[in-house]
A and B are shown apart, each in its own frame.
Chain A
Amino acid sequence: MNRRLAHLLLMLYPRPWRERYGTEVVRLTQDLIVTGETTRARGALNMMGAALAERGRALAYSSRTAVAMAVAALLAVAGSLYASGHGRPPQPPSAASAAPVQAKLTRCVVWPEAVGGMVVPAKVKIALWAGTTPRQVARVLVPVEVTVPDLPGPAKVPGKQEAGRVMCVLTGPGPDRKALILPSP
């Protein structure tokens, strides 16, 4: 495997992986070619496949991080709403309240098999905002459980926040109803 091809193949890997293992993987591929254990084509294909897998892993990792941030943000929103609904005096700004990421509940989706009186899995769509000039940095779906008082059919509804609770208004064939969104443990 010539240096140019090795360089091109390494560029397919995420940079941290490339910096840590790049030299070793190229050297081993060259050793395997020299000793006849593999061919140039097979060696290149193997590196290409592994690079795609690493890209996928890096992407999955960043998605998990975004979901974890969203769950933390949702809990923070629920906590602040709860506090404001219980007559607590306004708190002075602190380092925590000046955190650069804020969450905004934008929509909740209740799965069609929801029936009255049951706690069912649901997903809350949350927008994450960051920066001094707020800029939307991510939109994620966070799995939660939702209590459905009496829902006769499927519902896809806009989210709504009320003091002390994070609520979704469920609209279906019947009259509109509200459901309390409980963060998953």
Chain B
Amino acid sequence: MTSDSIRGSSDRSILILTSLADWPKHGYALIKDIEGFAGVKLGAGTLYSALAKLEQAGLVEALPAEERRRPYQITAAGREFLYQRLTESARIAEVGLRRIAVASS
């Protein structure tokens, strides 16, 4: 199992929610933004699979189309979900980094 294969659909959802955390974006803007802050290049099919799941879960919602493109925005539930997941990740990261530091000292 490679590190890339561990980063599954859950990670993609977090990346999309993180990208939408500041303001709404359409598909192309989402792909470029995620590539910029995470170094992960999503394909169109992959992006819309994840967006569909998030929309069905009520974590994102579609806005009216602008110039052929439909922007998506994070919902209040999505913001709460993202906050919980990032807080949990930060806590795990803190424990892991502390243990690495102790083991190598």
The contact string, 1 if C-beta is below 8 Å from chain B, for chain A 140-179, is: 0000000000000000000000000000000000000000
B81 interfacial contact with A, CB 8 Å: no
Contact partners of B53 in chain A: CB under 8 A: 57
The contact string, 1 if C-beta is below 8 Å from chain B, for chain A 35-55, is: 001100011001111110110
Contact partners of A102 in chain B: CB under 8 A: none
Chain B contact residues: helix, strand, loop or mixed: helix
A46, B46: Cβ atoms closer than 8 Å: yes
- Give the distance in Å from the alpha carbon of A27 to the alpha carbon of B48 in the complex: 12
B48, A28: Cβ atoms closer than 8 Å: yes
Interface core residue of A24, A29, A43 (most chain B CB under 10 Å):
A24
Residue of A nearest to B41 (CB): A37
B44, A43: Cβ atoms closer than 8 Å: yes
A50, B49: Cβ atoms closer than 8 Å: yes
The contact string, 1 if C-beta is below 8 Å from chain A, for chain B 56-80, is: 0000000000001110000000000
Contact of A38 among B43, B51, B52, B70 (CB under 8 A): B43
B52, A20: Cβ atoms closer than 8 Å: yes
Q: How far is the CB of A23 from chain B (nearest CB, A)?
A: 9
Chain A contact residues: helix, strand, loop or mixed: helix
Q: How many residues of B contact A (CB 8 A)?
A: 17
B31, A21: Cβ atoms closer than 8 Å: no
Contact of A28 among B41, B44, B49, B52 (CB under 8 A): B44
A51, B43: Cβ atoms closer than 8 Å: no
Contact partners of A49 in chain B: CB under 8 A: 43, 45-46
- Give the distance in Å from the alpha carbon of A59 to the alpha carbon of B70 in the complex: 28
Known: A21-B48, A24-B27, A28-B28. A43 touches B43 (CB 8 A): yes
The contact string, 1 if C-beta is below 8 Å from chain A, for chain B 71-96, is: 00000000000000000000000000
6 nearest A-B residue pairs (beta carbon): A50-B45, A46-B43, A47-B45, A28-B44, A28-B27, A29-B44
A to B CB contacts below 8 Å, 20 in the list = A21-B52, A24-B48, A25-B44, A27-B69, A28-B28, A29-B43, A29-B45, A32-B43, A42-B43, A43-B43, A43-B44, A46-B44, A47-B43, A47-B44, A49-B43, A50-B43, A50-B46, A50-B49, A53-B49, A54-B49
A contact residues vs B (CB 8 Å cutoff): 17, 20-21, 24-25, 27-29, 31-32, 37-38, 42-43, 46-51, 53-54, 57
